[in-house]
Each structure stands twice: as structure tokens, then as C-alpha cells.
Amino acid sequence: MSIALPALAADTDSARGDPLGDLITGALTGTMPGSVEYKMKATLYHAGAKGIRALDSLGCKVVAMRTLAVDKTVIPRRTVVFIKETVGLPMPNGEKHDGYWYASDVGGAIKGNRLDLFSGQGRTSMQPLMNLNLATLSVTKVGEFKGCPPE
């Protein structure tokens, strides 16, 4: 008897660790992408907007299409999350998004089951994400990271 595992986007950031090991751990613990833990309302933010700094709340550089602002009482900072609705979106480098985001920022308006996706530099960087603005997204915690999120 064979067991079919869900297909995951290739992990190109070596900072995430061992993707196969993560998949096996996720399968054993029930925290694999696809097992939604939260339904969260999304908003977008970009560099150049009023009040947005170049560093996140950890003191790390904000990273386009990777940095996520959260309510740290719901999703702790330094949590890696999988957001299935972002899989396949175009990344600034031309690659396709794998769905992984890094909770490294907080915001005054981010309370409860809300999150803020960092799109990059300027208003035009939000264009690929506009369908997600004010949408309810499927969010799954899949791990933790140390230091700063990968760039």
C-alpha cells in the first residue's frame, strides 16, 4: 500500500532547513501545509508607505514576499508559516512563491486573526498580491527560524 503525500513547492531557501525532513515531521505532528490552523484576514504593506521602516520588529531587513506582520499573541514572531493562497505568485526575482512566509514584524492595526503581507518597494509592488488584500487566507504554522528571515 502506498501513501500519497501532498506535493510542495521546491524550497529554494537553504535557511528553511531540510524540506524533506520538515515534510516528514509535519506529517507526524499534523502541522503540514494543507492542515489549516487559522483563517486570517490579510492586508498588504510596502516600503515607502507612511510609518513603514526598512527593518522589522526583530531589527531585521524586511524582505519582499517573505516578511509577515502578525499579532504575536496569535502567531509568535520567528514562526515560519505556509499560506497556500500565495503559492505560485510571482516573486521579485522572477521565481514562483512557495507559500512560506516569516513572522518577523508586528503592526499597530494587526490584532487577532489578521496578518500583513510585505510586498516590497513602492505601491506597484503590491499589484501581484492585490487579490489577497482583505481576503481570508489559510495559514499554517510549519516551523520556527533563528536570526533574521532569509532574503
pLDDT tens, position by position, 38-81: 899 999 998 877 667 778 999 999 999 999 999 999 999 999 99
pLDDT tens by residue, 68-116: 999 999 999 999 999 999 999 999 889 999 999 999 999 888 999 999 9
Tell which phi-psi region holds residue 79, choosing left (phi > 0), alpha (psi between -120 and 50) or beta. Answer: beta
Tell whether the model's pLDDT for residue 12 goes beyond 60: no
| Long-range CB contacts for residues 5-13, cutoff 8 Å, separation at least 24 | 6/32, 6/33, 6/34, 8/33, 8/98, 9/87, 9/88, 9/96, 9/97, 9/98, 9/99, 10/98, 11/98, 11/100, 12/95, 12/98, 13/100, 13/150
What's the CA gap between 97 and 89, in Å, rounded? 5
Contacts of 110 (CB under 8 A, 6+ apart): 69, 70, 71, 116
Q: What is the pTM of this model?
A: 0.75
Distances from the Cα of 68 to the Cα of 21, 24, 44, 101, angstroms? 24, 25, 9, 6
Rounded CA gap, 138 and 9, in Å?
16
Q: Of the ranges 17-21, 107-111, 115-119, which is most confident?
A: 115-119
